[in-house]
Chain A
Amino acid sequence: KNEVEQSPQNLTAQEGEFITINCSYSVGISALHWLQQHPGGGIVSLFMLSSGKKKHGRLIATINIQEKHSSLHITASHPRDSAVYICAVLLPYNFNKFYFGSGTKLNVKP
């Protein structure tokens, strides 16, 4: 069983919609990262969270450590947001390695 679960696996939205992607994990963590992977491969780090909430442009990431849950929200979605979003956690005894969720493939239609 994977320690990190993401939902949904696939998500299709219309341009302008508010989008939420969820990440749940079953073990205690030190930090959680949200990553974005565009078609073609390159991965970009969006956020690192260990508590609370972070905002960057139209992206908002939240984490609830007690509930072992994080969400990534996209406001006013745009076709250029179409990508795979990956949640990755760092465990307290190993800061050198990510444990990845399986990813959420987002398609935003114009």
Chain B
Amino acid sequence: DTEVTQTPKHLVMGMTNKKSLKCEQHMGHRAMYWYKQKAKKPPELMFVYSYEKLSINESVPSRFSPECPNSSLLNLHLHALQPEDSALYLCASSQGLALISHEQFFGPGTRLTVL
């Protein structure tokens, strides 16, 4: 199984809502990533978890809250988002943090619209 799954595929939320994005992999990977991608732009790294601990936070606003409850699951909790947060949110995983040695596998993404 070389798949990273993400749910939901699409999400529409208001600025006062609280919602969560979910990512799952069963490849035994110990590094998991959240990226944000705006239209016609490359992905921007948000967070990296290694062995279920937050390793990198790219100065992401606190309205985005990541969580890694176990080695297979990665969540992104959303609260009080702004319309400019509308984007494709991509999850990825790799066997280890060093991307020079490990291939990164991406999920299909969740397309988020904030009204």
- Please report A residues at the B interface, Cβ cutoff 8 Å: 30-31, 33, 40-45, 48, 50, 86, 88, 90, 95-98, 100-103
- CA A67 to CA B114, docked complex, whole Å: 43
Which of A41, A42, A43, A95 meets B99, CB within 8 Å? A95
The total of Cβ contacts below 8 Å across the A-B interface reads 58
A1 to chain B, nearest CB (A): 15
B56 touches A97 (CB 8 A): yes
Contact residues on B (Cβ < 8 Å of other chain), bracket? 20 to 34
**Do B42 and A100 touch across chains, with their CB atoms under 8 A apart?**
yes
A-B contacts, 9 listed (Cβ < 8 Å): A40-B108, A43-B92, A45-B105, A95-B97, A97-B99, A98-B104, A100-B42, A103-B40, A103-B41
Interface of A is mostly: strand
CB distance from B42 to the nearest CB of A (A): 4
Contact of B45 among A42, A48, A98, A102 (CB under 8 A): A98
Query: Are the CB atoms of A100 and B107 closer together than 8 Å?
Result: no
Contact of B43 among A31, A45, A50, A100 (CB under 8 A): A100
Cβ B100 vs Cβ A86 within 8 A: no
The answer to whether B100 touches A43 (Cβ under 8 A) is no
Quote the shortest CB–CB distance from A16 to chain B (angstroms): 27
